[in-house]
């Protein structure tokens, strides 16, 4: 039976934020797909080819842009998804940005500045590996960070997180009104699977470089992060910038959901190659004749 993509994506797209509870979303879910890894690999290859086709039209049309945002706990598989899902895209039409702790220059601007200057141009796909959402996640879990952001003290009140949610919704609405399609993915890995992946990084020499002791400290704050993620998703999922809470315990399934969501979004933009005017076609005919007769 062919996959009902719309039905599958609707299961992970958050459209009723008032009812959303992170505990209701299973990190190990696979939509009951009877896929083997080979089946999943073949399907992913087909979807990636379709994404590449749409990306070429996106670039040629030069009107829309697509912003893809990934947020997740450590070891949820963001890099793996990027590697597999974006593998068929022309690098000229894709921009990937990974946001770490802000620099001194970035701290001299408002908290949306460093991501705003990295937004994709028309005709391109932009990928944020972490994003401005860190400002309502890690900063919320570690409120002492606020003291280093040089924001006037009288502006840091009890409503600061709600104010930042308001700013994000307004910012994303502005982007969508100006031709940027936004997709946001929270890769929902379980605490048990994260433990397994951390142990793999420690036990396997070729993965040692992936392990950071600081990641273990963040793991100790798991419940605080889950509360922050839930509140963030409930307050910032909108029709024009929806959150997808994607099961992340099975990497093959995570990749499929993300790929299908990106392909589905691009297919809905009405993309097409620019029409060539009659005068240009005549010029091309003459150019072809010159080339054909060239000695």
Q: Which of 16-20, 36-40, 253-257 has the lowest mean pLDDT?
A: 36-40
pLDDT at 2: 66
Which pTM was predicted? 0.93
Evaluate whether 109 touches 223 at the Cβ level (below 8 Å).
Answer: no
pLDDT at 1 over 60: no
What distance in Å separates the CA atoms of residue 164 and residue 187, rounded to the nearest whole number? 22
Query: 266: buried, middle or exposed (CB in 10 Å: 19+, 13-18, 0-12)?
Result: buried
DSSP symbols for 130-141: S-GGGGGTHHHH
Which pLDDT tens digit goes with each residue over 217-241? 999 999 999 999 999 999 999 999 9
- Average pLDDT of the residues in 261-272: 97
Domain locations in the chain?
Answer: 5-292
Percent of the chain with pLDDT over 90: 80
pLDDT at 64 over 90: yes
Of residues 119 and 41, more confidence is placed in 119
Q: Which of 192-196, 214-218, 289-293 has the lowest mean pLDDT?
A: 289-293
The CATH architecture assigned to 5-292 reads: 3-Layer(aba) Sandwich (3.40)
Which pLDDT tens digit goes with each residue over 130-153? 999 999 999 999 999 998 889 998
For 70, the 3-state DSSP assignment is strand
What distance in Å separates the CA atoms of residue 87 and residue 94, rounded to the nearest whole number? 11
């Amino acid at each position: 039976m062919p996959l009902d993509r719309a039905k599958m994506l609707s299961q992970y797209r958050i459209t009723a934020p008032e009812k959303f509870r992170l505990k209701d979303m299973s990190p190990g879910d696979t939509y009951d797909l009877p896929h083997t890894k080979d089946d999943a690999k073949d399907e992913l290859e087909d979807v990636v080819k379709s994404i590449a086709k749409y990306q070429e039209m996106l670039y040629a049309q030069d009107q829309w842009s697509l912003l893809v945002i990934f947020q997740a706990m450590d070891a949820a598989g963001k890099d793996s998804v990027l590697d597999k899902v974006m593998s068929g895209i022309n690098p000229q039409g894709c921009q990937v940005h990974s946001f770490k702790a802000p620099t001194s220059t970035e701290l001299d601007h408002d908290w949306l500045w460093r991501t705003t200057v990295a937004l994709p141009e028309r005709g391109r796909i932009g990928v944020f590996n972490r994003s401005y959402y860190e400002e309502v996640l890690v900063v919320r879990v570690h409120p002492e960070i606020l003291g280093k952001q040089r924001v006037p003290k009288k502006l840091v009140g009890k409503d600061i997180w709600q104010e930042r949610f308001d700013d994000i919704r307004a910012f994303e609405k502005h982007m969508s009104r100006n031709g940027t399609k936004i997709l946001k993915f929270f890769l929902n890995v379980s605490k048990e699977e994260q433990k397994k992946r951390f142990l793999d990084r420690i036990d396997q020499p070729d993965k040692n470089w992936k392990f950071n002791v600081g990641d273990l400290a963040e793991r100790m704050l798991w419940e605080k992060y889950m509360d922050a993620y839930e509140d963030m998703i409930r307050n910032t999922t909108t029709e024009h910038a929806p959150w997808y809470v994607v099961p992340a315990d099975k990497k093959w399934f995570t990749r499929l959901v993300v790929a299908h969501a990106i392909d589905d979004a691009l297919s809905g933009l009405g993309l097409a190659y620019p029409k060539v005017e009659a005068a240009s076609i005549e010029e091309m005919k003459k150019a072809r004749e010159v080339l054909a007769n060239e000695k």
